[in-house]
Structure 1
Amino acid sequence: MATSPSKPVSLFRLDGDGDALVSLTSEQVAVDRPVNLAGTRARLVAGAFRTEEPRWLDHVSALTGGPVELSAELPFAVLLVPRPPWTYAVTWGAGHLALNDEYVEQGFGLLFGIRRLDPLDLGLVVSAALDASARVTQTSIPGGSDLAGFRLEPYGELVNRLAGSADLVDLTYGRVTGRRYRIRAGNALWAPLAKEPYGFLADLDAIGAVVDEPDTHSALRFIAQTRPLDRHDRLVPELERRFAETLGGAAHGPVGLAWPHSAVREAEQAGSYRVTGLGGDGPFVAEARLELAHLTDRLARVDAADRMRALRAGRIVACADESGEVESGTPVQVAKWLTFETTVGHARYVFHQGRWYRIGQAYVELMRGQVAGLLERRYPWPDVSWVPTGEPDDEHRYCERVGTEPGFLCLDKDFASTPLHPRFELCDLLGPGDELIHVKWLGRATSASHLFTQALVSVEALAHEPAALTQLAAKVTRLDPGRTVATAPGTVVLAAAGRGWDADQLFTLSQISLLRLDRAVRGLGATLRFADIPFVPKQRRRVQPSRRRSRR
């Protein structure tokens, strides 16, 4: 059997003028010297990370009744190879721990994988949902599968890692062996590189050329359209400057309120919200329904340079009472309640759930066009205007008014319970044709994510859990004895006041969530429709200082 001309290694690509390595001590470094790599001046750093007794060792000793001694050394080696305008880092052992994350190009390996992985023979996909759930999924299919086998969402799916069969005809391995190789692609690329210097440099140049080539031919190209930014990304300071200035009244892009997934249930029934740690003026209480202005009014009094720090230090908790004294939820970082968008160059940058994401402008335009088409599915709404009362049960009062219209039934606050969904609303209103209608006031800058979540939970429960349909039928018969519901309704209506359904007024992440909701609803045999509720604009909600510490 012939010896392979290549050896698999982990390859990173670095950018920046600073030191590519973290600070290493003289005890950790055994070798740090220049290397002449076929005429290229490279640098080899090798050594070992030494660890003393880990913190959990005393727990092991206590449980097992005797002392346990444990220490370790993690050998590492890093070869830094300049290939302007980039520097490549080849790592062995724990070498990845020696790299300075600030200069590691995020998703470099994925860019190669998108262009060379066989989309019909993938073995691993690790992804996260770009929504409030922060769901992370790792799917492994040892025998390989096409994309359909991994059930990826076409929108808002952040693919972080791929593995599978790749065409390496550009590299020494592919040219010499004529075979494919099962690579791993994420921030790093794990693939075979030539053992001899000239071939090795040629492989680096070939990888760079592949990454730089167009991806229009690839079925995996959607992966590169939406990427999380590393917290050390050099664009982050500029993005956070824009966000901070916008919170003080500047106009670098839209900013809005986006309910965190963990707070949706409590927020629906909150009597007030208690906000702490947001600036130096002390805690305050926002009554009934949290508004964006409650936060921006306070942040405007904070120096722009300190606003992002204040966002991360501040906490918001839903309270059961109107004075912010009885907490009914868990305090959530203020940063996770806000969303912001701005455009730099040809990309849209989004702040969501406390971190930054990059979304390609072409992808944004494609989504906007599809959302605009989706919003054409209109549902006729009765001539009943929503006049805000300023009371905590404002939405319920409006639903009761619409419930007096012919064919409409008010089910708002009439909760259902199933094994998978212990407490949820089947709908706010049931329409004349048994449409499931979900009603919300959506201010101009407010995210609609909580409305989408409510609709999805309902339609899933009715489709998969017989108890949900039984309870819906019972509630309908109780309200209208002559009316029955025998099957899961086939129409889901999202009815909004505060603003109309317009693709140009929806945040990019709301567009992503809406397209995903439509796909899920269609998969359950139903159709999504939209209604604009006539309304009178709301007055500014009242904010009061917090009088004392909250209690449970």
Structure 2
Amino acid sequence: MTPRSLCHATSLYRMAGGRDLTSYLVPTDFDSDTDVRLDTVACRLVSGSLRSDRPKWAEHVTSLTGEPADLPGVHPFAVLLVPLDSWTYALTWGAGHLLLEDELVEQGFGLLFGIRRLNEERLGLVASAALDATARTTQTSYPGGSDLSGFRLEPYGELVTRMAGSADLSGLTYGKPYRIKVGDALWAPFARDPKALLDDLRAVGAVVDQPDEHSALRFVAQVRKLAPYDPALPELNQRLGEALGGDERHGPLGLAWPSEMVHEAEQATEFTLRTPVDTVVVDGPIELVDLTDHFAGIPSGDRMDVLRRARVTASADDAERSSTAVKWIAFETTVGHTRFCFLQGKWFKIGENYVDQIHEQVARLLTRRANLRFPTWVPTRQPDDEHQFCRQVAGQPGYLCLDKDFASTPLHPRFELCDVLGPDNELVHVKWLGRAQAASHLFIQAQVSADALRDEPEAMLQLVGKIRDLDPERVLAAPPDTVVLAAAGRAWRVDSLFTLSQIALLRLDRTLRGQRMTLKFADVPYVPKRKSRERAA
């Protein structure tokens, strides 16, 4: 057994090697900046204190009490940069992590170690984010540890960002199980002895390079966000730039809605695209062609720069809200055997085997067809287009329109139970799938409704009341057991859905099955939308 005093827990980061050691740190003043040696390896140690004369909240304290609150702060730090083999490792103490150049830090390095060494039956913390329009983030902790089932992780589209728990540290100086923390960094005990530390770093690298097929946590690495310095980015951005001009060779391009603007985008009657080159005003719902027609006139190599500097404004009545245009684009492409997805302004990497598994399962799921009838959807380009169509559907015997007839419960203050209720009390959610993220919004609407009906008695009572108001002779004897997603604009096919939308769909189906509900699909006959826009100076 190695005595605890021979090791000390700290944070370890990894970055691509081959650079001058000064490039790994943000420019700042160091109290000490020294070249040091660990055994035969030339390293760099910087240390000092980050100082602040007055915290931002001090003025609030003074305004409330009249008492001065000049409270200078000092945050000590140290960073040891160790070039080893093809990598540069950074050990940080105190506020040292703030000194590292974010763009050079390997994303998920600690997670790669954790996948291979964490005990999946004694996890203490898992933090994750959903890859869908909600951008939901979750952190679950078990002080005494839990197996994977306790964290309710989704098998699809769950971007795990941090984990903690008991881990096997055999091969390192510490050698015994220890509660580590992993994310971009690995927080674990490392040797105090210089030569032993180098052995520890090599051992960590060897663990990360091991196959992960025997790990119950391997799904964590299936979807990863690309680091800003990832070598694949130049080619990916070039492909996206070409797609922005209408080139479809490299993969599908779609129009998405920023997660923070879903409500405004749905209600908007006018959209404005402002770029350094021009301004485009779209009267009515914005379509992908409104952007691609504009970017086609910009040189391909300049399009990504223009996209990142442009903004899209959604206007409704007297209110408007804008966001950077890059968040309005979704794109997918395959390089080698890896699928890359662009969403909400970020690139994600998805293993090709994982993508194949998703496509196979979605293909089977889409065979579940609802036996429902729909009139042809003729788009009007008006804000209430969907509502008018739902009223048409409800003109048929046995159908009821509940679109825009909002329900309210303590957990869900404003939501739609469904757009249309079918003849056998199917909860039918209707959407025109002209945008990449329209499908994800449809899935979220169905999910919220099902959750409310399962968890909140008020939701069921309101559904019964709404049915009685529309048809006094109709009685809902039992909770609905079928959810139907009805789509126009494109058919329900695997090749018509973005991979991230398919991930969200599988997540929805899994949840509904857990609630004893069946998910089905319907293709709505439709007339294609026509482009209508005007260009303003």
Compute the TM-score of the two structures, normalised by the length of structure 2. 0.92
The aligned runs of 1:226-305 (5 Å cut-off) are 226-251=223-248, 252-270=250-268, 272-282=269-279, 284-287=281-284, 289-305=285-301
Q: Which residue of 2 aligns with 1:8?
A: 9
Deviation at 1:388, TM superposition (A): 3.3
1:543/1:16 CA distance change after superposition, 3 Å: farther
- Partners in 2 of 1:281 and 1:136 — Cα distance? 36
Mean Cα deviation higher: 118-127 or 227-236: 227-236
CA-to-aligned-CA distance 1:262-299 (integer Å, 9 cap, x gap): 433344444x1221423432351331x22111222223
Residue 463 (structure 2) pairs with residue 472 (structure 1): yes
- Partners in 1 of 2:78 and 2:381 — Cα distance? 65
- Partners in 1 of 2:173 and 2:526 — Cα distance? 67
Deviation at 1:361, TM superposition (A): 1.4
2:362 is matched with which residue: 366, 371, 374? 371
- Partners in 2 of 1:282 and 1:162 — Cα distance? 45
Deviation at 1:105, TM superposition (A): 1.0
2:512 is matched with which residue: 495, 507, 521? 521
- Partners in 2 of 1:327 and 1:17 — Cα distance? 55
The Cα RMSD (Å) is 2.5
Is the contact made by 1:379 and 1:493 (CA closer than 8 Å) also made in structure 2? yes
Residue 517 (structure 2) pairs with residue 543 (structure 1): no
Deviation at 1:387, TM superposition (A): 3.3
Is the contact made by 1:473 and 1:486 (CA closer than 8 Å) also made in structure 2? no
The aligned runs of 1:444-455 (5 Å cut-off) are 447-455=438-446
Q: Secondary structure at the match of 1:509?
A: helix
Q: Secondary structure at the match of 1:496?
A: strand
Q: Which residue of 1 aligns with 2:178?
A: 181
Share of identical aligned residues, percent? 57
Is the contact made by 2:437 and 2:501 (CA closer than 8 Å) also made in structure 1? no
Q: Secondary structure at the match of 1:331?
A: strand
- Partners in 1 of 2:190 and 2:459 — Cα distance? 57
Q: Which residue of 1 aligns with 2:130?
A: 129
2:447 is matched with which residue: 440, 456, 463? 456
Residue 229 (structure 2) pairs with residue 224 (structure 1): no
1:454/1:34 CA distance change after superposition, 3 Å: same
Q: State the AA in 1 paired with 2:33.
A: V
Deviation at 1:24, TM superposition (A): 4.2
1:22 is matched with which residue: 21, 25, 39? 25
Deviation at 1:156, TM superposition (A): 1.3
Q: Which residue of 1 aligns with 2:410?
A: 419
Q: Which residue of 2 aligns with 1:484?
A: 475
Compute the TM-score of the two structures, normalised by the length of structure 1. 0.89
Is the contact made by 2:17 and 2:86 (CA closer than 8 Å) also made in structure 1? no
Deviation at 1:104, TM superposition (A): 1.4
Is the contact made by 2:358 and 2:503 (CA closer than 8 Å) also made in structure 1? yes
Deviation at 1:495, TM superposition (A): 0.9
Q: Secondary structure at the match of 1:173?
A: coil
Deviation at 1:419, TM superposition (A): 3.4
- Partners in 1 of 2:181 and 2:61 — Cα distance? 35
The aligned runs of 1:378-389 (5 Å cut-off) are 378-382=369-373, 384-389=375-380
1:328/1:63 CA distance change after superposition, 3 Å: closer
- Partners in 2 of 1:280 and 1:243 — Cα distance? 19
Mean Cα deviation higher: 103-112 or 405-414: 405-414
Deviation at 1:523, TM superposition (A): 2.3
The aligned runs of 1:338-377 (5 Å cut-off) are 338-377=329-368
1:543/1:68 CA distance change after superposition, 3 Å: same
Q: Which residue of 2 aligns with 1:31?
A: 33
Is the contact made by 1:277 and 1:315 (CA closer than 8 Å) also made in structure 2? yes
Is the contact made by 2:282 and 2:290 (CA closer than 8 Å) also made in structure 1? no
1:310/1:420 CA distance change after superposition, 3 Å: farther
Q: State the AA in 1 paired with 2:83.
A: P
Is the contact made by 1:273 and 1:316 (CA closer than 8 Å) also made in structure 2? no
- Partners in 2 of 1:506 and 1:47 — Cα distance? 52
Deviation at 1:330, TM superposition (A): 3.1
- Partners in 1 of 2:65 and 2:140 — Cα distance? 37
Deviation at 1:110, TM superposition (A): 0.7
1:68/1:206 CA distance change after superposition, 3 Å: same
Deviation at 1:391, TM superposition (A): 4.3
Q: Secondary structure at the match of 2:174?
A: helix
Q: Secondary structure at the match of 1:133?
A: coil
Is the contact made by 1:258 and 1:449 (CA closer than 8 Å) also made in structure 2? no
Deviation at 1:480, TM superposition (A): 2.9
Is the contact made by 1:48 and 1:75 (CA closer than 8 Å) also made in structure 2? yes
Residue 204 (structure 2) pairs with residue 207 (structure 1): yes
- Partners in 2 of 1:332 and 1:155 — Cα distance? 28
Deviation at 1:56, TM superposition (A): 4.2
Deviation at 1:227, TM superposition (A): 1.2
Q: Which residue of 1 aligns with 2:194?
A: 197
Deviation at 1:217, TM superposition (A): 0.8
Q: State the AA in 1 paired with 2:172.
A: L
Q: Secondary structure at the match of 1:132?
A: coil
Is the contact made by 2:33 and 2:44 (CA closer than 8 Å) also made in structure 1? no
- Partners in 2 of 1:460 and 1:445 — Cα distance? 24
Residue 147 (structure 2) pairs with residue 146 (structure 1): yes
- Partners in 2 of 1:467 and 1:217 — Cα distance? 46
1:9/1:467 CA distance change after superposition, 3 Å: closer
Q: Secondary structure at the match of 1:424?
A: coil
Is the contact made by 1:31 and 1:46 (CA closer than 8 Å) also made in structure 2? yes
Is the contact made by 2:118 and 2:166 (CA closer than 8 Å) also made in structure 1? yes
Deviation at 1:99, TM superposition (A): 2.0
Deviation at 1:12, TM superposition (A): 1.3
- Partners in 1 of 2:223 and 2:186 — Cα distance? 19
Q: Which residue of 2 aligns with 1:45?
A: 46
1:23/1:166 CA distance change after superposition, 3 Å: closer
CA-to-aligned-CA distance 1:36-86 (integer Å, 9 cap, x gap): x23233333333334443444444444443434433443332222222111
1:479/1:181 CA distance change after superposition, 3 Å: same
Q: Secondary structure at the match of 1:172?
A: coil
Structure 2 unpaired stretches of 5+: none
Is the contact made by 2:255 and 2:435 (CA closer than 8 Å) also made in structure 1? no
- Partners in 2 of 1:74 and 1:396 — Cα distance? 57
Deviation at 1:215, TM superposition (A): 0.5
Is the contact made by 1:278 and 1:299 (CA closer than 8 Å) also made in structure 2? no
- Partners in 2 of 1:533 and 1:62 — Cα distance? 61
Mean Cα deviation higher: 42-51 or 341-350: 42-51
1:39/1:2 CA distance change after superposition, 3 Å: closer
Is the contact made by 1:258 and 1:448 (CA closer than 8 Å) also made in structure 2? no
The number of residues matched between the two structures is: 533
The aligned runs of 1:404-415 (5 Å cut-off) are 404-415=395-406
